Amino acid sequence: MKTNLFLSFVFICAVSAAAQIKIIHKEKISVPSSEQWFQAQYSPSGKDIYLTNSGYNGIWKYSGKNKTLTKITEDPGSGYNFVVSQNEQQIAYRRTFQEPNSLQRSQEVVIKNLSDKSERIVASGEDIQTPVFVADNVSVTNLRTKKTILPSVKTSQPVVLGIEDQKISLLKKGKKEIFDPLKNGRYIWPVLSPDGSQLAAVDMDRGAFIADVNGTNVRRLARCNAPSWTRSGKYVIGMNDIDDGHVIIGSDIIAVSADGKQRINLTETENGLELYPHCSPTENKIVVTTSDGEVYVLTYEEE
Amino acid sequence: MKTYRILIALLVFSVAVIAQPPNNLSGLKFCIDPGHGGNNPANDRRIEPDPGNVFWESEGNFQKALLLRPLMQAKGATVLLTRETNSYPNDNDEPSLTARWQFANANNVNWFHSIHSNAGGGNYTCVLVKEDISTRKPAFPAAVQMGGLIFSNIRSMIRTASSSGNSGTTGVYLDYTFYGGANGGYNLGVLKGLTMPGELSEGSFHDVFPETRRLLNNDYRKMEAYGILNGILLYNNCPKDSGGIIAGLQVNAENSVPINNTKVRLLPENRVYSGDLFNNGFFMFDSLQPGQKTIVFETPNYKTDSLKVTVAYQSVIFADRSLYDMIPPKITLTQPVQGDTNFSVTNIIGIRFSKTMDTASVRAALFITPSFPYTLSWTNTNSQLVIRPVSSLPVKTDFIVTIDSTAKGKNGIMLDANGDGIAGDGLVLQFKTGEKDAVPPAVVTAFPVDAAVPISPNQIFNIQFSERLDPSTVSTVNIKIETENGGAVASQQVQYWDGPGIGYVNLYVADPLESGKAYRLSISNVKDLSGNKLAATVLKNFTTASGTLSYTVIDDFNSSVASWFAPAASGSTVGINGDSTKFTFNAAVKVPHLASNTGSAQLQYGWNSSAGSFLIREYLNSGAPRDVKWYPQNTKLQTFLLGDGSKTRFRFAVDDSVEAFPAGTTANHEVSPWYTVDWLGWRLIEWDFKETGAWLGNGIIEGQLRFDSYQLQYVPGTSSLFGSLYFDQLQLIKQTPTSVRIAQSQIPTQMELAQNYPNPFNPATTIEFSLTEEQFVTVSVFDILGREVKQLVHETLGAGRYKTVFDASSLSSGMYVYRLTTPNYSETRRMMLTK
């Protein structure tokens, strides 16, 4: 513990007096080094952390209560954009089978019951979008036919269905809507604020932005990759990764206020590259992975 | 459950359909990533090959992607680009590496390809794929197969000067291993997070200016786009793009400089290609129907030329052309100068033209009054005429050399001897010879024996005389190696090299001389062209180095130079004249006395005098020659070098610490001192690694060595701008000393020659001796009449105790004497051979 406290002290960066969010603690999650851990994310309750590896070949669950790691699946490609249901009884993911000596592939969307480990294939084809949960029902889009299977239940808040023809696909009031707030945008990493009123994303040639979910009030954020909203909705947490065209040479976690006016470096670590922040929906915590495949939880204080 | 059944029914695609090989790219999505982005000099690779012409790798990659997209779309593919611009006023708006693979993932493409050039700042055309670091295997094996096809198709289209990478590979490398593996390797950031197969191609070699200039041309970039397209098509079991392509380079025939503002017409289509102003001379016609075509080179101010070719289905034809400009040739220099009244009767006459000449027309237009027997030869790409009198010219005689106006340049334009820009006037060169040549020829230098140090036993001899010699007097009777007492040495051969006012003789000995023995070079009775004889016999004593010799050939240049880069392919090569510098195998020129010698390597060079720095790095890249590694102790690196008298500088380069850095690093490049090539004929150039020159390394030879390169340098104001050197038999010679140091903790306090043991002996005995300080030592054995029968030690040794073995197998029984000699000490002992 002494070591961790020391590390935490080194890690906590100095922020300006005007800063209204800062990291107050850093803790390394004890997971085996046999995998390069990648893109950790909190469960809907914030109690557990789900992980994949750098090849996206598998999903693991780290129990916040027991501090143990459990493999959910090792299906190829399953770790990319998997989703856990609100009741945390199911996990949905896409797996991909590359045909040997061919450009062809087949994809399947699987729902796995986390209690009895049973699984169901709910969609298959050559070009299937990763699934999303809509009130614990799966929605999935065939990107070739553009057809989306929508559950009959309607949610009060919009849901990001994914990227379709480089644009953001939203589910609003039970209907699919293509969202293009920057006009001729080409988007990645769309994520809705906790109250569903705002959306943060990254445009390939114009950087990160926040827009109201009706497409107005666009605020440009410059580089803020892999954005994730704090549970308060006051900040978007992202990564400011720098590269030389071949390899990432630096990355820190940043916070940008929802109005886009305040940009705060949350980390300034010299020897570590913090990547892919994901905010807990229930606590002031951010889970990040590093370029070395380690996992850390950052506790922040928001004033 | 009902919902899911409906869902499955709507989404399931037939497995049977998937299994059918497609005949095009329909239904497939690709993400093409133009590597880098924007105009940040730190990351986006800015190069300015000529003032005002700026190349950015970011822009080159982007244009290639823009050109590739419609080609792929025409095959039915859906193509997404990670960048739709190369203009990023705010550098942070450029998509990061993480954003690029995220873009591919988010759009669920089938395949990802990132376009780059200049692998690792170097010269590998290659394709890199993601490596699973834990297993050290490809993360996506399919990417290796696709990468190999893309690699070979890119190389076939862009004719890059870059290397094909290490031998034995398909041009595809695993990224983590390529960038150093456990010694700092990493996954490429743009491949790291892909959910689908992908690769990164490093196509062109943009650090080499001819290629940098071509890369400013969008049609040249399109050639790489075709290469990538064809690799993808072949992997998908589709035929290559069907349209024929004709492409080529146009250069000035006389200096190989690419031509600007070219105009090329293709018939019968009557398509016209207008070249750019980027000094590349490139042209290209694509999407051609099969059939016979005529390419007409109509570039203004150049002689029109044409070429017929037949375009076949899917064919790519490269049609380079050297064009002659329409400027009339002038006279730029004569020897003697106009009106000379004291021209040496043994000298040669030289006339230099401003352009390459039609040699037949010059020969027909040449008249000399009064006439004398001579031979004609041409140098400097047929722009310099040498009139070589067969014998000495008559004294005090007026001569007129005339080349009338019918002499033409290679461009067909008549001579403009007075240089007024108007063709049609001839040369009238008047001069008068001086007094009779009464001065005998003299030996100026005798390489390598002038150095007065023991020479390698396989040396050859290169003797410079003060004037041209009568070749009939150059023989092994007059010029020869003898034992120190005048005894004969078998199997010698001489070769005469006639220079401008001077002569060189090579003397070869078929078998290496005996090591550790005294010899002499004897020169007598040679005559100059006036019949003057060498004043007196010249004797040059020398000794050969002692020790047991062994040779390791690195490259004998007996069949090809396939293991070597083209000179321009090294990123270190600078200041050369366009594409005219070449390294080729030559079967006609070779060192004559080597057994089974079938050729040499010719390095033709031309320098761009306006460049700021000059270096040719003729790099040994791959194959068995590069596998030779050695330690420097008692070893010399040797090569035979045929000098052209150009005063070009030459040196060796090696990699050191190879055991620690098997892939080589910049910091491990060490070089020999420079050798100025101021001679004609062959010399054996050696480097014993004791002295070093300054280049990229620290100047200290460390650890195991491997050959890197021959290097040449132009010295402004001193060296010739053009020339040609030949290399033969690159090898190592290792001399195992006959004296071995005996391990002792203390330095001897007195000099000593110990009694041999055993004694009497048959046939070998050991002799020990002690030295109190470093000095030059000789240990010799003499018979009872005082004749030296064997030199055992003849070298500089440090303080310590040594032993050497005397093998008397070839000697008869009797008493022998052995002597230790240093500058300040001598001691003699006796021993008895009993057979």
B59 vs B176: CA distance, rounded Å: 27
Please state the rounded mean pLDDT for residues B371-395: 90
Q: Which residues, other chains included, contact B120 with Cβ-Cβ below 8 Å and sequence gap of 6+?
A: B178, B179, B202
Spatial contact of B575 and B568, defined as CB atoms under 8 Å apart: no
B727, B589: one domain: yes
Instruction: Give this complex's ipTM.
Output: 0.94
Q: Is B592 exposed, middle or buried (0-12, 13-18, 19+ CB in 10 A)?
A: middle
B66, B191: one domain: yes
Spatial contact of B250 and B321, defined as CB atoms under 8 Å apart: yes
Spatial contact of B538 and B524, defined as CB atoms under 8 Å apart: yes
Indicate the helix (H) or strand (E) that contains B61: helix B57-73
Give the pLDDT score at B123.
60
Question: What is the number of structural domains in chain B?
Answer: 6
Of B18, B129, B135, B195, whose CA–CA distance to A76 is shortest? B195
SS in 3 state form for B278-328?
CCCCEEEEEEECCEEEEEEECCCCECCEEEEEEECCCCEEECCEEECECCC
B273 vs B657: CA distance, rounded Å: 52
Least confident of B89-93, B586-590, B623-627: B89-93
For residue B111, list chain A residues with Cβ-Cβ distance below 8 A: 103
- The chain A residue lying nearest B37, using CA atoms, is A245
CA distance B726 to chain A (A): 41
Please state the rounded mean pLDDT for residues B179-193: 89
**Whether pLDDT at B454 is above 60:** yes
B729, B743: one domain: no
Q: What is the CA radius of gyration of chain A?
A: 19
- Helical pair B57-73 and B218-235, crossing angle rounded to 10 deg: 50
**Whether pLDDT at A270 is above 50:** yes
Query: Cβ contact (<8 Å) for A149 and B43?
Result: no
Query: Taking phi first (over 0 means left), then psi (-120 to 50 degrees means alpha), and beta for anything else, what does residue A245 get?
Result: left
**Whether pLDDT at B74 is above 80:** yes
For residue A169, list chain B residues with Cβ-Cβ distance below 8 A: none
B78, B184: one domain: yes
Give the pLDDT score at B182.
83
CA distance A123 to chain B (A): 5
CA distance A246 to chain B (A): 6
B505, B564: one domain: no
The more confident residue out of B206 and B21 is B206
Please state the rounded mean pLDDT for residues A41-63: 96
CA B699 to chain centre: 22
**Whether pLDDT at A245 is above 60:** yes
Residue A153 pLDDT level (bands cut at 50, 70, 90):
confident
Secondary structure class of A263 (helix, strand, coil): strand
To probe the interface with B, which of A183, A205, A276 has the most B CB atoms within 10 Å?
A: A205
B629 vs B732: CA distance, rounded Å: 10
Spatial contact of B600 and B591, defined as CB atoms under 8 Å apart: yes
Range of the domain at B221: 21-235
Indicate the helix (H) or strand (E) that contains B681: strand B680-687
pLDDT in tens, B519-542: 999 999 999 988 999 999 999 999
B64 vs B79: CA distance, rounded Å: 13
Q: What is the CATH number of the domain that holds B393?
A: 2.60.40.3710
Q: Residue B335 phi/psi, 5° resolution?
A: -135, 115
Give the pLDDT score at A181.
97
Q: What is the CATH number of the domain that holds B492?
A: 2.60.40
- C-alpha dihedral over B448, B454, B460, B462, to 10 degrees? 10
B731, B757: one domain: no
- Candidates A143, A205, A225; nearest CB to B98: A225
Give the pLDDT score at A2.
31
Position B440 in a domain? no
B232 vs B242: CA distance, rounded Å: 14
- List the Cα angle B93/B99/B103 in 5-degree steps: 120
Q: Which of B736, B764, B785 is the last residue of a domain?
A: B736
- List the Cα angle B314/B315/B318 in 5-degree steps: 150
B481 vs B446: CA distance, rounded Å: 12
**Whether pLDDT at B517 is above 90:** no
Position B615 in a domain? yes
pLDDT in tens, B9-35: 444 433 333 444 445 899 999 999 999
Query: Cβ contact (<8 Å) for A122 and B8?
Result: yes
Q: Is B76 exposed, middle or buried (0-12, 13-18, 19+ CB in 10 A)?
A: middle
Query: Cβ contact (<8 Å) for B98 and A248?
Result: yes
A78 vs A55: CA distance, rounded Å: 9
Position B8 in a domain? no
Give the pLDDT score at B578.
60
B486 vs B448: CA distance, rounded Å: 19
Q: Is B1 exposed, middle or buried (0-12, 13-18, 19+ CB in 10 A)?
A: exposed
Specify the residue for token string 């051969």: B493
Give the pLDDT score at B553.
96
Give the pLDDT score at A17.
42
- The chain A residue lying nearest B237, using CA atoms, is A102
Give the pLDDT score at A5.
36
Please state the rounded mean pLDDT for residues B677-690: 95
Mean pLDDT of chain B: 89
Q: Is B162 exposed, middle or buried (0-12, 13-18, 19+ CB in 10 A)?
A: buried
Q: What is the CATH number of the domain that holds B606?
A: 2.60.120.200
B303, B383: one domain: no
CA B555 to chain centre: 13
pLDDT in tens, B744-769: 778 899 999 999 999 999 988 999 99
Give the pLDDT score at B662.
75
Give the pLDDT score at B184.
81
- Beta-strand pair A235-243/A225-229: antiparallel
B29 contact A CB<8A: yes
B397, B283: one domain: no
Q: Which of B678, B706, B736 is the last residue of a domain?
A: B736
Least confident of A55-64, A158-167, B268-277, B544-553: B544-553
**Whether pLDDT at B168 is above 60:** no
Position B46 in a domain? yes
* CA dist list (Å): B633 to B636, B718, B771: 9, 35, 21
Position B446 in a domain? no
**Whether pLDDT at B171 is above 50:** yes
Spatial contact of B225 and B71, defined as CB atoms under 8 Å apart: yes
Give the pLDDT score at A4.
39
Position B456 in a domain? no
B222, B260: one domain: no
- The chain A residue lying nearest B192, using CA atoms, is A54
Residue B740 pLDDT level (bands cut at 50, 70, 90):
confident
Give the pLDDT score at B342.
92
Q: Where are the domains of chain A?
A: 35-41+52-150
CA distance A270 to chain B (A): 17
Least confident of A15-24, B171-180, B654-663: A15-24
B195 vs A58: CA distance, rounded Å: 12
- The chain B residue lying nearest A52, using CA atoms, is B193
The string of DSSP codes covering B697-738 is S-S---S-EEEEEEEEE--TTTS-SEEEEEEEEEEEEEEE-S
Tokens in use for B349?
């006459």
Query: Cβ contact (<8 Å) for B12 and A248?
Result: no
Position B11 in a domain? no
B711, B766: one domain: no
Q: What is the CATH number of the domain that holds B305?
A: 2.60.40.1120
Least confident of A182-191, B423-432, B560-569: B560-569
The more confident residue out of A259 and B118 is A259
3-state helix, strand, coil in chain A (%, to 5): 5, 50, 45
B713, B745: one domain: no
pLDDT in tens, B115-124: 999 876 556 6
**Whether pLDDT at B69 is above 50:** yes
For residue B142, list chain A residues with Cβ-Cβ distance below 8 A: 98, 100-102
Q: Residue B248 phi/psi, 5° resolution?
A: -175, 180
Q: What is the CATH number of the domain that holds B213?
A: 3.40.630.40
Give the pLDDT score at B20.
42
Query: Cβ contact (<8 Å) for A103 and B83?
Result: no
Give the pLDDT score at A255.
97
Position B3 in a domain? no
B281 vs B217: CA distance, rounded Å: 10
Of B444, B446, B450, whose CA–CA distance to B479 is shortest? B446
B368, B511: one domain: no
Query: Cβ contact (<8 Å) for B99 and A225?
Result: yes
Of B118, B121, B80, whose CA–CA distance to B99 is shortest? B80
The more confident residue out of A152 and A300 is A300
Exposure of B420 in the CB half-sphere (CA atoms within 13 A): 6
* C-beta neighbour count of B582 within 10 angstroms: 16
Buried b (16+ CB within 10 A) or exposed e, B766-779: ebbbbbbeeeebbb
CA distance A295 to chain B (A): 17
**Whether pLDDT at B164 is above 60:** no
Give the pLDDT score at B122.
54
* C-beta neighbour count of B676 within 10 angstroms: 15
Q: Which of B523, B543, B563 is the last residue of a domain?
A: B543
